[in-house]
Amino acid sequence: MESGLSNPYLIFYPSKVDFVKIRKSFVATISLDFGKKGDSKIEIINSSVGYNVTLHAGVKIMRSAIPPRSDVSDSVYDLNQSGETWKPAVIMDLFLPEVVQMVLNLVIFASLIPAYEIGLAATRSSSVSVSITTCGIVAAFVLQLFLWILLSRVVEKALLILPRYAQQSFVGVYINHVWIFRVGNWLVFLLYGTPMFVYYARMMGATVEGELWYFGNALYEYECLHFKGITVVDSAHVSGHYIDLNGLTIDDTYVSGLLHPGCYASAGSEVSAAEHGPWKVFLRSDMSVQDSKCLLRDVESPEGSTKEDSDHQMPLELDV
């Protein structure tokens, strides 16, 4: 094989594989943006494409080395940058998340100590009755679960208060933590489909006005989530963030009605009180600054738009 691909499963989806040509090249994990030129082929020949590079439709990369975190919208020929050092910003983008993840792992490990000490004290002595031992073990488990809930609240709060440039690096760590926490904390899983989940969501910072019936999948940035009326989230994805080629956007998300499995409501979307889905996507149609407690304040409004214009923009709704 004359070409090397670091992660072909994340690069070449079935809908894109016919529009990419690679010959005698190495390609790291990259993003492909076809936009309105869905039929324009991307060609990479005798070249090296670095990590997290974005390639736009129709570009040709010939005998070139593309550094990591680049955005390539025009064809490149005979550009060899392999001898150059990486920019400090690129190094920090790759290095900081690893450091933060290591620190978070140490905090998670430290959070195990109190529950371990309680469990050890309850089982150390053979003279202790079975009932006391059982109560001690149960108390250790409950304490551990509540410590993980508190830690998740702190991690999310840290993401929201960070400046934009830091959020870009920290959001990956936050998403990984949410996924691990969903699997490890069975106490929250037991609340799915019960009225008690409303109290948990409010404790995590969500705004719940009415009834909320949650049956799993994923919730991100609780402080940015607003549930109104009678809301049913049935294996759907509700998020206060949105990531595209322009970077990270964090904004309030308003949800009501019924979301069937596979539905996705992202930052800035407003889901009406109706039945939606399955597999329906709700996106914000513009990313201008609004009166929001979660929206990043240094996001610039689109050229020529005003706040009054953006207030009348309707959310973008897509069927997949």
- Which residue has better confidence, 169 or 200? 200
Please give the model's pTM, rounded to 2 decimal places.
0.66
Domain count, the chain: 3
Q: 311 pLDDT exceeds 60? A: no
Give the end of a domain, one of 84, 101, 126.
84
Scanning the chain, the segments in alpha helix (DSSP H) are: 8-11, 88-124, 130-161, 164-184, 186-189, 196-203, 307-311
Mean pLDDT rounded to a whole number for the chain: 78
15 with 49, same domain: the answer is yes
Strands 236-238 and 217-219: parallel
Distance CA 47, CA 53 (A): 13
Q: pLDDT per residue over 44-75, tens digit each?
A: 888 888 877 888 888 899 888 887 767 788 88
- Domain that residue 232 falls in: 191-320
Give the end of a domain, one of 84, 114, 134.
84
319 with 224, same domain: the answer is yes
200 with 225, same domain: the answer is yes
Distance CA 119, CA 97 (A): 34
55 with 124, same domain: the answer is no
pLDDT for the residue 155:
92
106 with 216, same domain: the answer is no
Model confidence at 258, pLDDT cuts 50, 70, 90, reads very high
Model confidence at 3, pLDDT cuts 50, 70, 90, reads confident
197 with 292, same domain: the answer is yes
pLDDT for the residue 10:
57
Q: pLDDT per residue over 193-236, tens digit each?
A: 999 999 999 999 999 999 999 998 889 999 999 999 999 999 89
196 with 181, same domain: the answer is no
- Which residue has better confidence, 318 or 99? 99
149 with 270, same domain: the answer is no
pLDDT for the residue 88:
57
pLDDT for the residue 298:
41
Distance CA 43, CA 258 (A): 44
57 with 17, same domain: the answer is yes
Cis amide linkage into residue 114, ω under 30° from 0: no
99 with 20, same domain: the answer is no
Distance CA 248, CA 296 (A): 9
70 with 179, same domain: the answer is no
287 with 300, same domain: the answer is yes
- Which residue has better confidence, 257 or 55? 257
Distance CA 169, CA 165 (A): 7
